[in-house]
C-alpha cells in the first residue's frame, strides 16, 4: 500500500476546508447532518431557499388565482430562468429556455437540426452515449428518413463526413466522468459542415461550459443534477442566436406560438427561443429552480471548476494511496482537462460496495456493470467528506460488508 500523498490526513482536509473561501456556499443547501452526499450528479440536494420559494408560489396561486399568470410573472419564468442557466453555461441572454425533459428536448432539437441540414441525413453519435440520447436519436432520425451512426469515442473525428447532419454528444460521460473537448469537436464538426448538439446534463453547474465561445449550435441538459432543482424538474435547451430564425420546433404547441392568447387556428412560431416551448410550464417546479439557481449567485464558474478539480484530484490520490490492491480501479481520466466532476471506480462487486457505503451514509451510486460513481459538487462537497468517503470504502472492503447477501439482487432504481 502506497503512502497517502504529502502527509494528507483528516485534519489537514478539515484545515483546508476551513481556509476555503467557497466553503460557506454549502450553507445554501440543506444536507442531512452526517451524510456524505456524493450523488449530486444524479439528484442534487435541497437548496436552503427552496421551501420558502415554493411556499410563496403556493401563496401566489392561493391569493392571485389565474391572475398569477399575468401579475406574478409566471409566464416569463421559462425565459428568465433560461437566461440564468445561460449565465452558468456561457450563453448570452435570449438563447436558453427551460422546458420539457432533456429527452423531449433531444427529440425537438434533433428533428429541427435534421430539417435544417437536409439533404445531410446522419445523426453521428458515440456508441457509449447516455441511453436516452441514443433512444432519442433512434426514434427521431427515421421520422425524417435519416439514420443514426454510432461510433466509438476515438473514431468520431474520422466519421464526420459530408453525410453528417448533426453530431450528438454528451459533454461529460455519465459512466466514466470523461469530458469531451467541446471547443475542438465543435470546430471539427463545423469544418465537416455538420451541426453540433451537446447534452450538458453532467456539466452545467459543475464544470465550466462556454457555449457561445465554442460556437456551439444546440444544447440541452437537465436541472436536477448539479443545478439542484429537485426530482422531475424541467430541462433546458439552447439554440444559438444565428440559428433561431430558421430552426423550428417540430413539437408545435400554443406556448411556442407568436400570440398564444389570440387562439389563432394557424400556427405562427414565436420569435427567438420562445418558440421551443410546447405547453404550459410547470410553475411550481420552476419556482424551485429559481431558488436553486440563487445558490450560484455571486459564484464564479471558473472558481467552481477549480474547486471541483481539486476535490476530484484529492479523491483519486486517496484511492490510489489507500485502496491499492483492493480490486478498485479509477476509470475517470487523471488529466484535469479530460475529467468532469465525478470519480468512477471499477470494482467487481460495485453494486454491493455502493449499498454498503449507503448503509454508512456515504451516498454514491452504481452504474452497470461494475462502476461505483462518486459525484463531487463544488458548491457543497468538502475535502473532509472526500476523506471520509475513502475511509468508508476502506472499511467496507476490509470488513467484506459489500459481500452481504442482501446486496446480491439489485433494486429497480440504482
- Tell me which residues in 350-379 interact with ligand PLP (CB under 6 A): none
The whole-angstrom separation of Cα 42 and Cα 129 is 16
Query: Phi then psi for 97, rounded to 5 degrees?
Result: -135, 145
- Closest approach of Cβ 245 to ligand PLP, in Å? 27
The catalytic residues are 130, 199, 224-225, 373
- Closest approach of Cβ 82 to ligand PLP, in Å? 15
247 to 11, 131, 157, 188, 192: CA distances (angstroms): 55, 25, 25, 22, 20
The whole-angstrom separation of Cα 356 and Cα 361 is 9
- Closest approach of Cβ 300 to ligand PLP, in Å? 25
- Closest approach of Cβ 367 to ligand PLP, in Å? 11
Q: Does 163 bind ligand PLP (CB under 6 A)?
A: no
Contact 76, 220 (CB under 8 A): no
Q: Does 235 bind ligand PLP (CB under 6 A)?
A: yes
Which segment (108-116, 156-164, 195-203, 264-272) binds ligand PLP by CB under 6 A? 195-203
Beta strands per DSSP E along 127-245: 147-151, 164-170, 195-199, 218-221, 236-239
Q: Toward ligand PLP, which CB reaches closer, 88 or 397?
A: 88
Q: Which of 202, 347, 367, 373 binds ligand PLP (CB under 6 A)?
A: 202
- Closest approach of Cβ 224 to ligand PLP, in Å? 8
Q: Does 204 bind ligand PLP (CB under 6 A)?
A: no
Q: Which of 89, 95, 102, 342 binds ligand PLP (CB under 6 A)?
A: 102
Q: Does 103 bind ligand PLP (CB under 6 A)?
A: yes
The whole-angstrom separation of Cα 37 and Cα 392 is 13
The contact pattern for ligand PLP, residues 209-228, with x = CB under 6 A and - = no contact, is -------------x------
- Closest approach of Cβ 222 to ligand PLP, in Å? 4
CB count within 10 Å of CB 409 equals: 7
Q: Toward ligand PLP, which CB reaches closer, 42 or 382?
A: 42
Q: Which of 39, 60, 126, 199 binds ligand PLP (CB under 6 A)?
A: 199
131, three cell numbers: 441511453
Q: Which of the 8 DSSP states describes residue 166? A: E
Contact 81, 110 (CB under 8 A): no
One-character DSSP codes across 274-336: GGG--S---HHHHHHHHHHHHTTTT--HHHHHHHHHHHHHHHHHHHHHHSTTTT-EE-S-SSG
State the residue for C-alpha cell 468520431: 156
Largest distance between two CA atoms of the chain: 72
Which segment (28-36, 53-61, 69-77, 197-205) binds ligand PLP by CB under 6 A? 197-205
Q: Toward ligand PLP, which CB reaches closer, 12 or 278?
A: 278
The whole-angstrom separation of Cα 300 and Cα 302 is 5
Cis peptide before 169 (omega within 30 of 0): no
Helical pair 383-399 and 301-322, crossing angle rounded to 10 deg: 30
Q: Which of 12, 87, 101, 138 binds ligand PLP (CB under 6 A)?
A: 101
Q: Toward ligand PLP, which CB reaches closer, 156 or 222?
A: 222
Which segment (97-105, 251-259, 343-351, 367-375) binds ligand PLP by CB under 6 A? 97-105
Look at residues 20, 31, 42 and name the one whose alpha carbon lies nearest to residue 299.
20
Which segment (98-106, 274-282, 365-373, 379-387) binds ligand PLP by CB under 6 A? 98-106
Q: Toward ligand PLP, which CB reaches closer, 204 or 314?
A: 204
163, three cell numbers: 453525410
- Tell me which residues in 107-146 interact with ligand PLP (CB under 6 A): 130, 132-133
Number of residues that bind ligand PLP (CB under 6 A): 13
- Closest approach of Cβ 131 to ligand PLP, in Å? 9
Q: Toward ligand PLP, which CB reaches closer, 133 or 365?
A: 133
Alpha-carbon dihedral angle through residues 28, 30, 31, 37, given to the nearest 10 degrees = -50
Q: Give the pairing type, strands 29-30 and 46-47.
A: antiparallel
Which segment (76-84, 96-104, 185-193, 360-368) binds ligand PLP by CB under 6 A? 96-104
Positions touching ligand PLP (CB under 6 A) are 101-103, 130, 132-133, 170, 174, 199, 201-202, 222, 235
Amino acid at each position: 500500500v502506497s503512502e497517502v500523498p504529502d502527509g494528507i490526513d483528516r485534519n489537514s482536509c478539515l484545515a483546508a476546508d476551513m481556509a476555503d473561501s467557497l466553503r460557506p456556499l454549502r450553507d445554501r443547501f440543506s444536507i442531512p447532518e452526517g451524510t456524505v452526499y456524493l450523488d449530486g450528479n444524479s439528484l442534487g440536494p435541497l437548496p436552503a431557499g427552496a421551501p420558502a420559494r415554493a411556499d410563496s408560489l403556493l401563496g401566489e396561486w392561493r391569493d392571485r388565482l389565474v391572475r398569477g399568470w399575468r401579475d406574478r410573472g409566471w409566464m416569463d419564468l421559462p425565459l428568465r430562468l433560461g437566461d440564468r442557466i445561460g449565465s452558468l453555461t456561457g450563453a448570452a441572454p435570449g438563447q436558453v429556455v427551460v422546458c420539457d425533459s432533456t429527452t423531449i428536448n433531444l427529440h425537438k432539437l434533433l428533428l429541427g437540426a435534421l430539417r435544417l441540414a437536409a439533404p445531410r441525413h446522419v445523426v453521428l453519435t458515440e456508441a457509449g452515449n447516455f441511453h436516452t440520447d441514443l433512444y432519442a436519436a433512434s426514434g427521431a432520425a427515421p421520422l425524417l428518413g435519416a439514420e443514426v451512426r454510432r461510433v466509438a469515442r476515438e473514431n468520431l473525428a474520422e466519421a464526420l463526413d459530408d453525410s453528417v447532419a448533426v453530431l450528438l454528444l454528451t459533454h461529460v460521460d455519465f459512466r466514466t466522468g470523461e469530458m469531451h473537448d467541446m471547443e475542438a469537436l465543435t470546430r471539427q464538426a463545423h469544418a465537416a459542415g455538420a451541426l453540433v448538439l451537446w447534452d450538458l446534463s453532467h456539466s452545467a453547474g459543475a464544470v465550466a461550459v462556454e457555449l457561445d465561445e465554442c460556437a456551439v449550435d444546440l444544447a440541452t441538459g437537465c436541472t436536477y443534477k448539479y443545478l439542484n432543482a429537485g426530482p422531475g424538474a424541467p430541462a433546458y435547451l439552447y439554440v444559438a442566436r444565428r440559428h433561431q430564425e430558421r430552426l423550428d420546433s417540430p413539437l408545435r404547441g400554443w406556448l411556442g406560438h407568436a400570440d398564444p392568447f389570440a387562439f389563432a387556428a394557424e400556427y405562427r412560431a414565436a420569435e427567438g427561443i420562445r418558440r421551443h416551448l410546447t405547453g404550459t410550464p410547470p410553475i411550481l417546479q420552476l419556482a424551485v429552480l429559481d431558488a436553486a439557481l440563487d445558490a450560484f449567485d455571486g459564484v464564479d464558474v471558473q472558481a467552481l471548476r477549480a474547486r471541483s478539480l481539486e476535490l476530484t484530484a484529492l479523491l483519486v490520490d486517496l484511492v490510489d494511496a489507500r485502496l491499492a490492491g483492493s480490486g478498485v480501479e479509477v476509470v475517470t481520466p487523471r488529466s484535469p482537462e479530460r475529467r468532469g466532476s465525478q470519480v468512477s471506480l471499477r470494482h467487481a462487486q460495485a453494486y454491493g460496495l455502493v449499498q454498503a457505503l449507503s448503509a454508512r451514509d456515504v451516498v454514491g451510486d452504481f452504474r452497470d456493470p461494475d462502476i461505483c460513481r462518486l459525484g463531487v459538487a463544488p458548491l457543497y462537497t468538502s475535502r473532509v467528506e472526500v476523506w471520509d468517503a475513502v475511509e468508508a470504502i476502506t472499511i467496507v472492503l476490509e470488513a467484506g460488508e459489500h459481500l452481504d447477501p442482501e446486496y446480491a439482487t439489485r433494486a429497480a432504481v440504482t
